[in-house]
Amino acid sequence: MKKILTSVVVAVLAIGTAAADFQGPDSAAPVATNAKGGFVSGAETIVTVKQVNEMRDDVPVIIKGHIVQRMGGEKYLFEDATGSITVEIDDEDWRGQTVRPEDTVKLYGEVDRGIFKTEIDIDYVEKM
Read off the pLDDT of residues 12-30 as tens digits, 9 standing for 90 and up: 555 554 444 434 444 343 4
pTM over 0.75: no
Read off the pLDDT of residues 56-85 as tens digits, 9 standing for 90 and up: 999 999 999 999 999 999 999 999 999 999
Mean per-residue pLDDT over the chain, rounded: 80
Read off the pLDDT of residues 100-127 as tens digits, 9 standing for 90 and up: 999 999 999 999 998 899 999 999 999 9
Residue 24 CB burial class (10 angstroms; 0-12, 13-18, ≥19): exposed
